[in-house]
């Protein structure tokens, strides 16, 4: 049984296993009801029990938990009910491993984020002998860490209900280990060892001896409180040779590595980094995995994200994470605005973003200890965007994505009367995406008017409010109503539609006075379900 302590709904675990009840203790005097609301707006009422309320048998989804009180007071949080552990991830990072106070602050931010998958970065004593001592030590780059703090952090992540993921480099070996295992080292086409700067030597991930060594070391991560592994790669090598100068097929090598790790560690939740989608069309071996794609130029535009996921092999409703590091902070306000639009664009693509974590941190660099630390007002803005994506994200990973065939165009059945694009092109005004489910149709709109070139790598200027009308051809329009959800505003449910007769049938319209940031319109029949 899962329970929230009095005073804060955010004390609820962020991830509650399927079939387990969510119990909410009385969080404030006068609370009169507790609801679980899904992305479609379907509300399930909690049963009042001694000392609080209980929600049982919630289907897998991301829910906004609402505690309703007097004078219209409403406290909210989010809870994920996954199909299996690690499903529907809310990703975050953690690097605070040197002092307990920093770890506790980080856990507070992760709780506010409702994180369900936390990558603990660079916790290792060394690449080839990762398990740290119980006290102070230094990581491979000389950063001072403490095994006691690591233990507190992994334990705290578990208390959130989240998966604590150990950062686990797939290809890395220390120089001494590589020198004594020359047959496992990958070489360039000129015979020089593959390496990452002067930090590490790159090994052959498909070679049985290296695989056995890797499993004997990183496979022990569970002893440190980890329940998952983030399998990191570097985007290269692309044309390596083995110790006998034979060409190495990296897709085959990675596939052999993943198959072996999946079989050896069935209880671990895994993510595998396909840097810029490499290797493409990679099959994931079984459940309890999420597709993870680190994004780099030339995939600099928001319009590149969808194609990058497809080339990587993403399909269906499998969990997918984009690791994106907005690099240009010359204009801090603009950089933050651009980063938040990246969250929204990824949400409409059915993906989550690895960008937030630490103690109020936002990534701009692949070495996670180097990150932007947000001010208190910035944290509030970021949480507003982040929580909004949690409220609507299931709409864009359920049903069928019909954006490219339905938005305006010949034969299209969804029209937005303003300047729009199905892909986020520069100056497009609004990005529009469409998802169809059983008895519902969702239209997501993100305002991109502040972006000069449609790039996630650049700061974003102030957005211009864009009035819009959203119309849809529906099977029985008189039975439909609309739900309009906008960032920074209360959701409006049961909105009447304006019906307009056309030569192609009756179009149901919703008029929006302005799309300022991120708005979602759902057309739904009575009884529609995610």
Q: What is the pLDDT of residues 37-47, one digit of tens each?
A: 999 999 999 99
CATH code (residue 19): 2.60.40
Inter-residue contact 350 to 362 (CB < 8 Å) = no
- What percent of the chain has a predicted confidence (pLDDT) above 90? 83
Do 246 and 98 belong to one domain?
A: yes
Do 63 and 98 belong to one domain?
A: no
Q: Tell me the per-residue pLDDT of 343-352, one tens digit each, with 9 for 90 and over.
A: 999 999 999 9
Chain centroid to Cα 190, Å, comes to: 39
CA of 164: how far to CAs of 11, 67, 87, 152, 328, in Å? 18, 29, 14, 11, 30
> Residue 350: inside a domain, yes or no?
no
Rounded Cα distance, 323 and 366, in Å: 9
CA of 34: how far to CAs of 50, 74, 394, in Å? 14, 10, 21
Q: How many domains, the chain?
A: 3
CATH code (residue 416): 2.60.40.1180
Do 270 and 135 belong to one domain?
A: yes
Stretch (H or E) spanning 120 = strand 117-120
Do 312 and 426 belong to one domain?
A: no
Q: Where are the beta strands (DSSP E) in 233-358?
A: 269-273, 289-294, 320-323, 352-354, 356-357
Rounded Cα distance, 414 and 425, in Å: 19
Do 77 and 102 belong to one domain?
A: no
Do 95 and 77 belong to one domain?
A: no
Q: Is 447 exposed, middle or buried (0-12, 13-18, 19+ CB in 10 A)?
A: buried
- Average pLDDT value for the chain: 92
Q: Tell me the per-residue pLDDT of 301-338, one tens digit each, with 9 for 90 and over.
A: 999 999 999 999 988 778 999 999 999 999 999 999 99
Q: Tell me the per-residue pLDDT of 419-470, one tens digit each, with 9 for 90 and over.
A: 777 777 665 689 999 999 999 999 999 999 999 899 999 999 999 999 999 9
Task: Quote the domain boundaries for residue 30.
Answer: 2-81
Q: What is the DSSP string of 406-447?
A: HBSSTT-SEEESSSEESS--TT-SEEEEEEEETTEEEEEEEE
Name residue 447's beta-bridge partners.
430
Q: How confident is the model at residue 418 (pLDDT cuts 50, 70, 90)?
A: confident
């Amino acid at each position: 049984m899962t329970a929230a302590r009095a005073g804060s709904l955010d004390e609820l675990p962020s991830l509650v296993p399927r079939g387990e009840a969510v119990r909410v203790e009385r969080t404030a005097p006068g609370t009169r009801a507790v609801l679980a609301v899904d992305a479609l707006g379907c509300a399930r009422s909690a049963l009042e029990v001694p000392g609080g309320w209980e929600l049982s048998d919630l289907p897998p989804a991301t829910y906004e938990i609402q505690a309703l009180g007097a004078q219209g007071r409403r406290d909210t949080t989010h809870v994920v009910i996954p199909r299996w552990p690690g499903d529907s991830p809310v990703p975050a990072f953690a690097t605070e491993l040197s002092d307990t106070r920093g770890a506790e602050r980080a856990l507070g931010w992760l709780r506010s984020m409702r994180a369900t998958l936390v990558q603990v970065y660079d916790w290792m004593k060394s690449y080839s002998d990762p398990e740290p001592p119980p006290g102070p030590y230094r990581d491979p780059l000389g950063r001072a860490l403490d095994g006691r703090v690591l233990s507190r952090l992994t334990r705290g992540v578990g208390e959130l209900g989240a998966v604590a993921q150990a950062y686990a480099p797939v290809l890395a070996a220390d120089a001494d280990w590589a020198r004594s295992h020359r047959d496992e080292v990958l070489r360039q086409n000129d015979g020089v060892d593959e390496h990452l700067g002067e930090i590490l030597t790159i090994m052959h991930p498909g070679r049985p001896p290296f695989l056995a060594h890797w499993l004997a070391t990183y496979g022990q991560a569970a002893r440190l409180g980890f329940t998952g592994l983030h399998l990191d790669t570097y985007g290269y090598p692309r044309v390596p040779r083995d110790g006998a100068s034979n060409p190495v097929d990296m897709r085959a090598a990675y596939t052999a590595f993943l198959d072996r790790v999946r079989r050896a560690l069935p209880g671990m939740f895994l993510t595998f980094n396909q840097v810029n989608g490499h290797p493409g069309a990679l099959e994931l071996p079984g459940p309890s995995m999420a597709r993870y794609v680190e994004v780099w130029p030339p995939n600099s535009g928001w319009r590149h994200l969808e194609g990058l996921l497809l080339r990587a092999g993403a399909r269906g409703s499998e969990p997918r994470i984009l690791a994106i590091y907005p690099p240009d902070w010359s204009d801090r306000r603009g950089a933050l605005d651009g980063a938040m639009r990246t969250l929204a664009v990824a949400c409409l693509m059915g993906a989550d973003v690895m960008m937030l974590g630490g103690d109020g941190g936002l990534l701009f660099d692949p070495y996670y200890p180097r990150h932007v630390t947000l001010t208190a007002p910035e944290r509030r803005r970021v949480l507003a965007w982040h929580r909004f994506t949690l409220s609507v994200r299931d709409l864009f990973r359920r049903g069928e994505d019909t954006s490219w065939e339905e938005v305006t165009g010949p034969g299209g059945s969804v029209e937005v009367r303003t300047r729009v694009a199905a892909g986020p092109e520069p100056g497009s005004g609004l990005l529009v995406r469409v998802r169809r489910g059983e008895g519902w149709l969702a239209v997501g709109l993100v305002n991109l008017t502040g972006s000069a070139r449609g790039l996630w790598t650049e700061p974003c200027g102030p957005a211009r409010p864009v009035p819009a009308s959203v119309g849809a051809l529906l099977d029985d329009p008189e039975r439909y109503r609309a739900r309009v959800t906008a960032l920074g505003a209360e959701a409006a449910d049961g909105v009447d539609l304006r019906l307009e007769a056309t030569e192609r049938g009756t179009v149901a319209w919703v008029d929006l006075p302005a799309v300022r940031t991120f708005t979602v319109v759902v057309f739904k029949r009575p009884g529609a379900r995610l």
